[in-house]
Amino acid sequence: MKVLLVDDHPLILAALQQVIQGVGDDVTVIGVETAEAARQVLREDDSVDLVLLDLALGEVDGFEVLAELRATWPAVPVVVVSASERTSDVIRALDLGAMGFVPKTSSNDSLIRALHAVMNGGLFVPPHMLGLTAAQVQTHEPDTMPQVMRMLAEHAKPEPHQSKSVSLESIGLTPRQTEVLALLLQGLPNKLIARQLNVSVETVKDHVAAVLRALNVSTRTQAVLAVSQMTQGAGIPGVRPGGR
């Protein structure tokens, strides 16, 4: 596995490199201090498996860099490593395509769990950032998309179109679009949704686009948050307890 670290603090960069390098002999770590250096590595090396990105790079807005990386190299997952522990920053990072959010106060074990979760196709946010107590952590697995989104939604401030006065019934989804929304909320990619509904991937893309328009959002993360806040404790349609 090849990991690209982006952090403009040399001491933190060196510490992170050491931790990740210790995961195994098959791990290669590339450390850079600027967004431009990260771009250059990704342009020249198509074998990078994962990017760890600090949001406070100094010369640029880390959120803008995150959006750029996800747009330009969509096949390379990005995990945000940040001094911030604000839920709003977590939501924004996930909304821009990050597959994980690790505070710099986290333990080395937490960082390694994040790497494993993301490389296995999951989503990682530390339980304490979701408002979970030590007892609750034992009954939750906050590395699956529906669970993470539901927990974050409990803390997120609803936008006007996500208020209680708006219901799923009122947004005018067709029965097929409702089915697509239920599978989307389970974190399924378009290919798996197409397989379950026995339709083409292009048809699923059209339905997903229609669902996002109906919810007045632009990403899947926003859709999950919107539905969570619209249902307000009634549960997310189509998502079984446990998110499996």
Convert the pLDDT of each residue in 192-223 to its tens digit.
889 999 999 999 999 999 998 888 877 776 77
Convert the pLDDT of each residue in 42-77 to its tens digit.
999 989 999 999 988 877 888 999 999 988 998 888
Return mean pLDDT, the chain: 76
To the nearest whole percent, how much of the chain has pLDDT over 90? 18
Domains, the chain, with CATH or none? 2-130 (3.40.50.2300), 160-231 (1.10.10.10)
User: In the beta sheet, which residues pair with residue 29?
Assistant: 3
| Phi, psi (degrees; rounded to nearest 5) at 208 | -60, -45
Measure CA 21 to chain center.
24
Would you state the structure tokens that stand for residue 162, as one six-digit string?
A: 């996500």
Q: How many whole angstroms separate alpha carbon 161 and alpha carbon 172?
A: 14
Q: Are the C-beta atoms of 95 and 156 separated by less than 8 Å?
A: no
